[in-house]
Amino acid sequence: MIWLSRLSVKLFLVYAALNLTLAIGYVTWVGHWQRQIVTQQMEDHLLTTAKALRSHLATVSDDLDRAVLQSWVDDLARQIGMRITLIDPQGIVLADSLEDPLLMENHAARPEVKQALEGDAGKAARHSNTVRMRMLYTALPLRTNGELRIVLRIAMPLHSIDEQVATIHRYLWILATAVGAVSLTLTLLGARQIMLPLSQLTDAAEAIAAGNYKRQIPKSGNDELGTLARAVDHMRRELMIQMNEQRENSQRLETVLSSMTEGILAVNADHRVLFANAASRRLLGIETAEVAGRTLLEVSRHRILRNAASEAMEKRKTVEQEFETLGAARRLLAMRTTCLPGNPCPGVVIVLYDITELRRLENVRRDFAANVSHELKTPLSSIKAYAETLRLGALDDKQHNMHFVQRIEEQAERLHQLIVDLLQLARVESGREAFDIREVALDEVVADCESVYGERASAKGLHLEIQLPDEPVLVRADENGLVTILDNLFANALQYTPSGGRVTIRIHGDASHAVLEVEDTGVGISARDQQRVFERFYRVDKARSRDLGGTGLGLAIVKHLTQSFGGEIRLRSELGQGSTFSIRLPRQSPRPA
């Protein structure tokens, strides 16, 4: 991979191109230079030879006999291996070692001849029409007594120079190729040397970017790469610390948010959910846990959420609303929608409070006040009416006055009972009632009431049955409180069971709890009313209860007392069949003997 990395390939290509350019430049320049040297040497050699021949020619003949000249030319050309030409001052070729002079054109215009005719040594390199190859020429004028007699020209083919230069070129190329190959190999090794730590560093940086903060950064030297590696490693450690801190913070925040009973929903500007704690999902009836990234309307059918989010974002203000949830378990929710910080508003946070219970309690309290007034008013009105009747003459009516006084007494008693119950309930509910909580034998409490209850049951024509376990049943409670519970449940059982029926009081339980049950075969309570009978003043049949002397507070007192002792109350009942009230209390384990 390192060998193929783009940077190393680039580096290699640049270096290779540089190498190639240098090699070509070097070979071309050296070749050119070499050719010049060889040509110069050749020219010098030709000039020296021409001078020697000219001296020799001067001695050969004074006349210009063509035959003599031709023989001299042929003879010497053979010896020195060069072409020799003799030309008269008019440019007419007198003799030539390679061609018949008579067939040769006038040579006065040939550059080397022209220079010689002008008195200097002439030289030229060109293609010869006569011998049809490139030749190097040197021409010298031969004078006798200062008069130009003849031009001596010698020539040799240039291809010998070309051959020499080509040989040198070949060697140069071999050398350049060898040097190039070595330097390219070194380039590759060098590129690898540079790229290896760089590529390791890149891999490590990519791993860190992908979240692997534990990935070690390879150690490098003290060069720039080493400095970079140390900087990346420092960055990695800082990032790791920051990410850990952030993770801890968000975990803390998530724990806080998820343990809240208020629902928290964060939504971005596109109405996509950023966060929803467990309470918000529960309150809105959202079943899927993965809601992040989905739109509000996708996760919840409550359009009001979306509208509140839009309004809060548009007006950049907190929107407060109340609404009832859809679905089977209807809850009343208060919603507070606030813009997240930023401009434009990047989203909203919606806080949901379940105010169902609060509203119910408010209603209960309001009803309670109304009920108390009403309950107090009824007997008072009766007392007032009877007193008025007496004052207006009935006092002297010996036949009826006693009856009216009795009625006043009854109503006063009812008022008294009501006030006693109200005071007791208020004390129990407020938690101010000072209970004497200690170990109480529940079976004994029941047994103590047996004879009184038996009489009251018989008086109503009811059969009372008491079922107690053999072992004592110890609970932690206030004895008077237990008696109040039992009295109320028994009184109700008597009241709401027609004569001939049966009331059973029994105690049972398990290792941890004792259960006191009061069962009757009376009128029973419908399922709808079962949920409400523990409310204050709630009576299934108001008139009947009132006639029977009930205040509607008995079961509320029983419930609160039971809860004060750490227990709970349950009711099983069927209309027309009877009811069973069960008080489940934590058991006090018997002391070791």
Where do contacts with ligand ADP occur on this chain (CB under 6 A)?
A: 488, 492-493, 496, 520, 522-525, 533, 538-541, 545, 550-556, 579
- Smallest distance from the beta carbon of 578 to ligand ADP, in angstroms? 7
Of residues 156 and 446, the one with the C-beta less far from ligand ADP: 446
**CA-to-CA separations, 374 to 133, 134, 136, 386, 462, in angstroms, rounded:** 144, 143, 146, 19, 33
Q: Which lies closer to ligand ADP via its Cβ, residue 12 or residue 537? A: 537
Cα separations in angstroms, 108 against 92, 119, 153, 207? 7, 13, 12, 86
CB of 495 to ligand ADP, least distance (A): 6
> Token digits for 571?
């009711």
CA atoms within 13 A on the CB side of 490: 26
**What are 169's two structure tokens?**
């070129």
For ligand ADP, give the closer residue by CB, 72 or 496.
496
The CA distance from 486 to 450, in Å, is: 11
Instruction: Specify the residue, 318 or 467, whose C-beta has the smaller distance to ligand ADP.
Output: 467
**Contact by Cβ (8 Å): 524, 573:** yes
| CA dihedral over 246, 249, 255, 257, signed as positive or negative | negative
Q: Shortest gap between Cβ of 572 and ligand ADP (angstroms)?
A: 11
- State the nearest-atom distance from the C-beta of 540 to ligand ADP, in Å: 3
Provide, rounded to whole angstroms, the least separation between the CB of residue 444 and ligand ADP: 24
DSSP state string for 398-442: TTTHHHHHHHHHHHHHHHHHHHHHHHHHHHHHHT-S---EEEEEH
CB of 354 to ligand ADP, least distance (A): 28
Give me the residue label for tokens 């004028």.
Answer: 141
CB of 466 to ligand ADP, least distance (A): 17
Minimal distance, residue 533 CB to ligand ADP, in Å: 4
Token pair of 249 as six digits: 């913070």
Tell me whether residue 137 or residue 538 sits nearer to ligand ADP (CB atom): 538
Q: Please, which residue, 325 or 530, has the CB nearer to ligand ADP?
A: 530
- Residue (148 or 449) nearer to ligand ADP, CB: 449
Query: In whole angstroms, how close is the CB of 552 to ligand ADP at the nearest point?
Result: 4
What's the rounded Cα separation, in Å, for the pair 523 and 579? 8
Instruction: Give the chain's end-to-end CA distance (angstroms, integer).
Output: 85
Three-state DSSP state, 96: strand
Cβ nearer to ligand ADP, comparing 121 with 364: 364
How many Cα neighbours within 13 Å face the side chain of 48? 7
Instruction: Please give the C-alpha separations between residue 46 and each of 18, 35, 84, 123, in angstroms, as whole numbers.
Output: 41, 16, 11, 9
Nearer to ligand ADP, 325 or 495 (CB): 495
Dihedral sign, Cα of residue 544, residue 546, residue 548, residue 552:
positive
- What is the residue-wise DSSP string for 304-348? HHHHHHHHHHHHTS-EEEEEE--SSS--EEEEEEEEPSSSS--EE
H/E stretch holding 584: strand 578-586
305 neighbors 265 (Cβ within 8 angstroms): yes
Single-letter code of the amino acid located at 158: L
Closest distance of CB 379 from ligand ADP, Å: 14
Is the Cβ of residue 352 or residue 553 nearer to ligand ADP in the bound state?
A: 553
311 or 529: CB nearest ligand ADP: 529
Instruction: Give me the least distance between CB of 521 and ligand ADP, in Å please.
Output: 10
